[in-house]
A and B are shown apart, each in its own frame.
Chain A
């Protein structure tokens, strides 16, 4: 017997061996071979990129909208045509009204996030790091999150008047919840094995927080941040439409009074663009800070 002799393909033995092989009416000599497609990578490369296809999708929507407007199916007083929106937008940029409104709105969102995000993150850390913190904080947050923030608007106006403070406070409060919930969940789901590792290599409490808890909480925090941005824009529109003398929401309310659907659409487009920009910002942040994650 040779152990390391290369095995040779038996000549013409297949048909004779297999022809008689039949199990439950299943004949092994009746195997049909199919040719699988190959070279898929190069074929895919030739196709349009994902981004381009998405852009085409958006462009198609606008084209249909424009055509329907031209044909008179959509009346200008109901919804302005894209071309009208574009020229209105250009006009509003030129006379500075859009810029002023945007600046006022951006400032509210900025301050709301700047106050709400750190508070949410700090509460999540306090709650995630100690049982006492969890007992004191988590119950309250879980209860409050079911109160619709928009319903608190009246209270805020009652306490803080109709000025900037009320709007910024509402955004800050609304932003806190998604930050807290996602960061807290990330801390709670840290692999307990890392705690053992910290014991074994003798990490101090500060080192544990810096080397294990904070990096582990970051992905959850960033998910929370994206949700927080969406919440911030939502609350902004609401707050500005209730009582404001500046900002995108104020422009919308004014336009409504004067039946200017083109101005309303310009403002809505601004909201959409701002939402996309803030989302892209967080995505970029994720790309830079979460390079260690599998699948990135």
Chain B
């Protein structure tokens, strides 16, 4: 495996296999330019993870692709059918689980499809529950079902596992992997969990100060195991790109070495800063 610099976009423009085509995306808030000319291409059915430190602008990219932020300039092509899973489940507390899943759908068979989607995320039989009765992981699975039931060509995941506990997160990783295998939407996963990115994606992008500084294909054999030396190698490279000196971290925190959650203490702090900044 080799790491390469960000690939320059071919001059040919959007390809018919593209699910996302972005050229020279720029976004400023006031005088601060957050995104400085992003070129991005995601193929149909491709699982791409976008890594970045807090404030790097990764959430801004996702919100732009979701259509939630129209303040950017540049060329942006996205599929008509897109779904978003936010960091919080964002379920309407006054609507039953099934009504949350099919929110906004008006087709005759939407209830059936919604129940099917709930079954896929392991929540069959919870159709009539109130959201308040769900655990954090269950609520996020409902959010996933709400995204899936729309048969998206592009699934945007905005740190969807960030608020979950470590054990639930492991299960959610497996579930998302499984659902992607079955439905094959293009996925953009925004995260700052390097292990999560390596476990799930075909390709990892690192966003540094508003520009994509690294674009790497993940070529690890399945199943991807943290014990694989190549896994550790890629993780080190990505952490270095993110400005984390692994050796220094290890020296200070030996007891947490090799633990998949070892970065989470810092990433939790990052997250609180970031949500404070974007809302």
A121 to chain B, nearest CB (A): 17
* A199 to B95 CA separation, bound complex (whole angstroms): 18
Q: Determine the residue in chain B with the shortest Cβ distance to A207.
A: B104
B121 in the interface, Cβ–Cβ < 8 Å?
no
Q: How far is the CB of B103 from chain A (nearest CB, A)?
A: 5
Stretch at the interface among B49-57, B80-88, B166-174, B178-186: B80-88
Residue contact A294 to B93, C-beta cutoff 8 Å: yes
Residue of A201, A218, A293 with most chain B CB atoms under a 10 A cut-off? A201
CB nearest neighbor in A for B94? A215
Chain B residues positioned under 8 Å from A291 (CB to CB): 130
Contacts of B130 in A (CB 8 A): 291-292
Q: A52 at the A/B interface (Cβ < 8 Å)?
A: no
Which of B68, B93, B279 lies in contact with A199, CB distance below 8 A? B68
Whole-angstrom distance between the Cβ of A252 and the nearest chain B Cβ: 43
Residues of chain B with a CB closer than 8 A to A194's CB: 90, 92
In the complex, how many angstroms separate the beta carbon of B126 from the nearest chain A beta carbon? 14
Residue numbers in B under 8 Å from A201 (CB-CB): 103-104, 146, 150
Size bin of chain A's contact surface: 20 to 34
| Chain B contact surface mostly | loop
Q: How far is the CB of A91 from chain B (nearest CB, A)?
A: 50
Question: B167 to chain A: closest CB distance in Å?
Answer: 18
Given A207-B104, A291-B130, A292-B132: A199 touches B92 (CB 8 Å cut-off):
no
Contact A292 B93 (CB under 8 A): yes
Q: Are B90 and A197 in contact (CB under 8 A)?
A: yes
**Residue B160, interface by CB 8 Å:** no
A212 within 8 A of B: yes
A215 & B92 in contact (Cβ 8 Å cutoff): yes
Q: Bound state CA distance, A199 and B103, in angstroms?
A: 11
**Are A196 and B150 touching (Cβ within 8 A)?**
no
Q: Residue A9 at the B interface, CB < 8 A? A: no
28 A–B contacts from the bound complex (CB under 8 Å): A193-B86, A193-B90, A194-B90, A194-B92, A196-B86, A196-B90, A197-B90, A198-B104, A199-B68, A200-B67, A200-B82, A200-B84, A201-B104, A201-B146, A203-B103, A211-B95, A211-B103, A211-B104, A212-B92, A215-B92, A215-B94, A291-B130, A292-B94, A292-B130, A292-B131, A293-B93, A294-B93, A294-B132
